[in-house]
Chains A and B, each alone.
Chain A
Amino acid sequence: MLVKMTEETISNNLIPNPNSGSNPPPIKRKRNLPGTPDPEAEVIALSPKTLMATNRFLCEICGKGFQRDQNLQLHRRGHNLPWKLKQRTGKEPKKRVYVCPEKSCVHNHPSRALGDLTGIKKHFSRKHGEKKWKCEKCSKRYAVQSDWKAHSKTCGTREYKCDCGTLFSRRDSFITHRAFCDALAEETARITAAASINNVTAGNLNYHFMGNPLVPNMSQHFSSLFKPISGNDQVIDQSRHGLSLWMGQTSQGHGSVGSTISLHELHQISSSGVIYNDPLLSCLNPPPSDYQLNWVFGSKISSNNGEELSSTLSQHESAPSLYSTQRTNTTTHQTPSMNMSATALLQKAAQIGPTSTGPTFSGSFVLKCNNTDQVQDGNRICGLYGTTTTNTPPSSILGGGTENNNSTMNDLSSLNQLQMHPAKRQKISLSEDNGGGGQTRDFLGVGVQPICHPSSINGWI
Chain B
Amino acid sequence: MDITLFTPKETQYLFNNNGHIDMQSTSHASTTSRSSDSGEPSGAAANGKWASRLLRECARAICEKDSSKIHHLLWMLNELSSPYGDCDQKLASYFLQALFCKATESGQRCHKTLTSVAEKSHSFDSARKLILKFQEVSPWTTFGHVASNGAILEALDGESKLHIIDISNTLCTQWPTLLEALATRNDETPRLKLTVIVSVSMERSVMKEIGQRMEKFARLMGVPFEFRVISGLSRLSELTKEELGVQEDEAVAVNCIGSLHRVEVDERRGVIRMLQSLRPKVVTVVEEEADFLSSRNDFVTCFEECLRFYTLYFEMLEDSFVPTSNEKLMLERECARSIVRVLAYDDHNDQSGVTGGGDCERRERGCQWSERFKEGFLPTRFSDDVIDDVKALLKRYRAGWNLVLPQGDENNIGIYLTWKEEPVVWVSAWKP
Contacts and interface: CB of A to CB of B under 8 A. Distances in A.
Interface stretch (A7-15, A144-152, A306-314, A424-432): A424-432
A425 B154 CA distance: 13
Interface of B: 128, 132, 135-136, 142, 146, 173, 175-177, 179-181, 183-189, 191, 210, 212-214, 216-217, 219-226, 388-389, 391-393, 395-396
CB-based closest 5 A-B pairs: A342-B222, A179-B176, A341-B189, A139-B392, A421-B184
B226 A336 contact: yes
A394 B216 contact: yes
Nearest to A421: B184
Given A172-B177, A176-B176, A334 B219 contact: yes
B389 A179 contact: no
Nearest to A425: B185
Contact of B219 (A137, A180, A394): A394
A425 B393 CA distance: 18
Given A140-B388, A172-B393, A173-B136, A185 B176 contact: no
Contacts of A341: 186-189, 222
Contact of A421 (B132, B180, B214): B180
Nearest to A420: B184
Contacts of B395: 136-139
A338 interface: yes
Given A172-B393, A180-B132, A336 B220 contact: no
A178 interface: yes
Nearest to B174: A176
A342 B214 CA distance: 18
A178 B395 CA distance: 22
Contacts of B181: 421, 425
A43 to B, nearest CB: 34
A397 B388 contact: no
Give the secondary structure class of B's interface: helix
Nearest to B209: A185
A175 interface: yes
Contacts of B391: 139
Nearest to B184: A421
> Which of A173, A327, A420 counts the most chain B CB atoms within 10 A?
A173
B132 A176 contact: yes
Nearest to B389: A139
A185 B216 contact: yes
A35 B192 CA distance: 40
Interface string A117-130: 00000000000000
Interface residues of A, number: 41
A176 B171 CA distance: 11
Nearest to B217: A179
Interface string A318-345: 0000000001111000101110011110
> Which of B179, B180, B224, B391 counts the most chain A CB atoms within 10 A?
B180
Given A185-B212, A379-B184, A421-B181, 10 more contacts: A139-B388, A140-B388, A178-B217, A184-B217, A337-B224, A342-B222, A394-B220, A395-B219, A427-B186, A427-B187
A398 to B, nearest CB: 11
B187 A185 contact: no
Given A139-B395, A327-B222, A343 B177 contact: no
Contacts of A379: 183-184
Contact of B220 (A136, A138, A173, A329): A329
Contacts of A76: none
Interface string A161-193: 000000000101101111110001100100000
Contact of B224 (A180, A336, A344, A420): A336
B303 to A, nearest CB: 36
Nearest to A396: B220
Contacts of A180: 128, 132, 173, 176, 210, 213
A141 interface: yes
A223 interface: no
A427 B184 CA distance: 9
A343 B189 CA distance: 7
A138 B392 contact: yes
A206 interface: no
A73 B87 CA distance: 71
Interface in A88-134: none
Contacts of B177: 172, 175-176
B184 A426 contact: yes
Contact of A172 (B142, B187, B222): B142
Interface string A23-61: 000000000000000000000000000000000000000
A342 to B, nearest CB: 3
A364 interface: yes
> Which of A137, A328, A329 counts the most chain B CB atoms within 10 A?
A328
A342 B176 contact: no
Contacts of A428: 187
A184 B216 contact: yes
> Which of B132, B136, B216 counts the most chain A CB atoms within 10 A?
B216
